[in-house]
Amino acid sequence: MKGFRFSAVEAAIKKPGRLDLALIFSDYPAQVAAVYTTNKVQAAPVLISRERSKNGRCRALLVNSGNANACTGEQGMADALECGRRTAEALGLSDEELLIASTGVIGQPLPMERFKKGIQPLVDGLDHGTLDDVARAIMTTDTFEKIERRSGEAGGKPYSIRGIAKGAGMIHPNMATMLSFLVTDAEVDGAFLKSAFTEAVDGSFNAITVDNDTSTNDTAVIFANGAAQNPSIKAGTPEGAAFAALLHDVLLSLAKLIVKDGEGATKFVEIRVKGAANQADAKKAALAVANSMLVKTAFFGQDANWGRIIAAIGYSGADVQQDRVEIRFDDVVMATGGVFAGGDAEAAGTRVLQQKEFRVTIDLKLGAGEAVVFTSDLSYDYVRINADYRT
C-alpha cells in the first residue's frame, strides 16, 4: 500500500498485555469520507472527528480500545482533544488533520498518563508497524482481527483498497460497537468518494445486526491519498463503477466477519425479504426478523419455529398480507399463504438450522421491494460475555 504507514502499541488503557493504541498515517494529504453513529448519545471522539472530516481532507487517525471516552463530560472532550493535539504535534500536523476514534467501556475517564506515554512510541513505530497491528489493537470482545484487501486499476495504474474493522457486540449500526477504517492509494474525486462510501456502508454495515444495540462510538472512515498516481476516479465512469464495486465488496466482507464473530454466536444467518411493497418495507421486515430475540434463540436451539418469524414480520411496520406470506429455510418451504407447510417441512427445516450458515427467505408477494440483512443467533455465551464485560 503506497503512502500509508501504521503503528500500534500497548498503553494498558484498560489492562496490560495487548495492543490498544494505534495510528494510521498518510504520507500525503488524503481525501477522507466518514460515516458516524446516529445514536443521539455520542462519544467525544465522534463529535471531534465528525467536525474535522467535514472538510474532506485529513492525514491521520488515532484510535484506542479499552475505553470509549463516551459520557465523560467536558473532561472527556478535553482529554480527547489533548491526545489528538499531542499526536498531531509529534507527527508535524495541525490538529484538524487528525481524526480520533475510541472503543471500549462507556462512562470511564481516559487513563491520560498511560495514554500520553504511548503517543511517542506510537509515532516512532510508524516505520515498523502494519495494518494487521492496527486491526489487533482495536479489538475488544472480538475473537479475531478483521482485514480485507482488494486491488483495482484506473488509467493503467494499479491501486489497492485495504480495510479493517472491529465489532462483535453492540452491533446494530445506523450509519455496531463497531469501527472500520479503510485506506486506498487511489486518487479519487472527493465528492464521489463520499457518495460511494456512504452507499457501500448502507449496503454492508447498515445491513448487519447482532444484538439490536447501536453504539455511541460507531465510526467508519476511508482515506484516499492518490499515491498510486492514477487519473482521478470520478462518478459516472467505468473506473468509478469498478472502484465502488470493490469498496462495497471490502465493506460487505468486513460486515459479514463482524456477524460471524458476534458475541457467543454459533450461526451466521442471511435474512432475505423479497416481494415487499417497496424497499423500505423490505428492510423493516428483514430487520424485525433479524433483531427478534425469540427468532435468534430459536436459531440457537435449532428450532424450526417459523411462527416467530411471521410474528416479527407482522409487527415490523411493513405492509403485510398474512395469506400471501411464504417463508423458506434455504430451499425448504416452511409456510406458504401464511400457513404451515406440514410435518415434513418441520424435519427438513430443522436440518437446515443445524448448519452453521443458512438463509431465511421471506416473500411478501406484494411488490418488487427487496432487502438483505445478516444476523447471528443468541446463545448462552452472549449473556456470559456481556455479564462479565467490565470485570
pLDDT one-digit tens code per residue, 267-325: 999 999 999 999 999 999 999 999 999 999 999 999 999 999 999 999 999 999 999 99
Q: What pLDDT band is residue 178 in, cutting at 50, 70 and 90?
A: confident
The reply to whether 272 and 128 lie within a common domain is no
* Distance in angstroms (rounded) separating the CA atoms of residues 227 and 359: 41
Would you say how long the chain is, in residues? Answer: 391
The reply to whether 54 and 36 lie within a common domain is yes
Please indicate whether residue 177 is annotated as part of the active site: yes
pLDDT of residue 85: 98
pLDDT of residue 211: 65
The reply to whether 173 and 278 lie within a common domain is no
The reply to whether 229 and 284 lie within a common domain is no
Residue 30 has φ and ψ, to the nearest 5°, of -125, 145
What would the pLDDT profile of 293-308 be if each residue is shown by its tens digit? Answer: 999 999 999 999 999 9
The reply to whether 219 and 77 lie within a common domain is yes
CATH number of the domain to which 375 belongs: 3.10.20.340
User: In this model, does residue 173 exceed pLDDT 60?
Assistant: no
Give the alpha-carbon dihedral of 117, 121, 123, 125, to 10 degrees.
-160
Least reliable range by pLDDT among 60-69, 152-161, 256-265, 362-371: 256-265
Q: What pLDDT band is residue 205 in, cutting at 50, 70 and 90?
A: confident
- Give the C-alpha distances (Å, rounded to integers) separating 364 from 270, 338, 350: 17, 10, 23
Q: What pLDDT band is residue 384 in, cutting at 50, 70 and 90?
A: confident
Query: How does the average pLDDT of the chain come out, rounded?
Result: 93
> Of 260, 287, 311, which residue sits at a domain end?
260
Prediction pTM value: 0.90
CA–CA–CA angle 379, 267, 321 (5° rounding): 95
CB–CB of 248/200 below 8 Å?
Answer: yes
Q: What pLDDT band is residue 217 in, cutting at 50, 70 and 90?
A: confident
Question: What residues are designated binding site?
Answer: 140, 166, 177, 263, 386, 391
User: In this model, does residue 370 exceed pLDDT 90?
Assistant: yes
CATH number of the domain to which 179 belongs: 3.60.70.12
pLDDT of residue 171: 57
What mean pLDDT comes out for the span 115-119? 96
> Of 194, 227, 260, which residue sits at a domain end?
260
The reply to whether 244 and 157 lie within a common domain is yes
One-letter amino acid at 350 equals T
Domain of residue 102: give its range: 4-260
The reply to whether 197 and 299 lie within a common domain is no
What mean pLDDT comes out for the span 120-147? 95
The reply to whether 209 and 317 lie within a common domain is no
The reply to whether 190 and 288 lie within a common domain is no
Question: What residues are designated binding site for substrate?
Answer: 140, 166, 177, 263, 386, 391
> Of 260, 292, 310, which residue sits at a domain end?
260
What would the pLDDT profile of 35-91 be if each residue is shown by its tens digit? Answer: 998 888 899 999 999 999 999 999 999 999 999 999 999 999 999 999 999 999 999
pLDDT of residue 120: 97
CB–CB of 142/163 below 8 Å?
Answer: no
* Distance in angstroms (rounded) separating the CA atoms of residues 300 and 328: 17
Q: Active-site residue among 177, 184, 209, 361?
A: 177
The reply to whether 278 and 252 lie within a common domain is no
* Distance in angstroms (rounded) separating the CA atoms of residues 137 and 159: 26
The reply to whether 245 and 278 lie within a common domain is no
User: In this model, does residue 126 exceed pLDDT 50?
Assistant: yes
The reply to whether 255 and 377 lie within a common domain is no
Q: What is the count of structural domains for the chain? A: 2
